[in-house]
Amino acid sequence: MSLLRTGRFPLYGTAVVVFLLGSLTGCASSPNLGDETSTAQPSTASPTPTPTSTAGDDEVTCAALGDVRTILYNARAAFETDRMSQDELNHWADLASRVLSNTPSADHGSIADAVDAVKEAAPDGQSLLGAFALGAHDPTAELAAACEAAGFAVVMSGFVGG
C-alpha cells in the first residue's frame, strides 16, 4: 500500500522536512565553524539541563500507539476473514512491534512507565497481536489509558471489511 493511499504521506513528509530543517539549523548555528580568526572566548557558564520528559515525547508515543493498534486490529481482522495468510499476519505483527520499540518516549512519567510495561509484557509482535484476539488481555490498554489521562487521544482506524 502506498503512502498516498494510506493518508500518511503528509505526516511522513512533515517529519522529513522538520528533521532536515533541524539538521540544517544545527549546522548553521555552529558559532565560528571554520573561522580561525575569531576572538570568541569559551563560555564559563554551566549549560542548562535539558528536561528528560517532554509533552512532545509523550504525544509522539501516544500517536505511535494509535498506529500500532491500527496495524494490529486490521491485520487480525484481515486474517480472521481469510484475507491474509498466517505468514502475512506474523509480518504485520512484527511491524507493529518495531513501530512501538522504535518510538521515542520520555525518560520518566506515567506514559514512559506504561511503554516499558508494554515492552516487557509483549517483547515481540506475536505477543502484541494476541491482544486483538477475542477475550485476550490487551497489553497496550494501560498505555492507552495513560495517554488519555495526559490528554492525548489514541486514535485507531479500522479499515478492513466491506
Per-residue pLDDT tens digits for 68-121: 989 988 998 899 899 999 999 989 988 988 888 888 777 889 999 998 888 887
Residue 38 has φ and ψ, to the nearest 5°, of: -70, 145
C-alpha cell at 162: 466491506
Residue 137: which pLDDT band, with cuts at 50, 70 and 90? confident
Closest CA to 69 of 157, 162, 160: 157
Whole-number pLDDT of residue 14: 58
- Which letter does DSSP use for residue 133 in this model? S
* Pairwise pLDDT comparison (104 vs 47), residue with the higher score: 104
Residue 88 has φ and ψ, to the nearest 5°, of: -65, -40
| Distance (Å, whole) CA 114 – CA 112 | 5
Q: What's the mean pLDDT when you consider all of the chain? A: 73
Cβ distance 140 to 69 under 8 Å?
Answer: yes
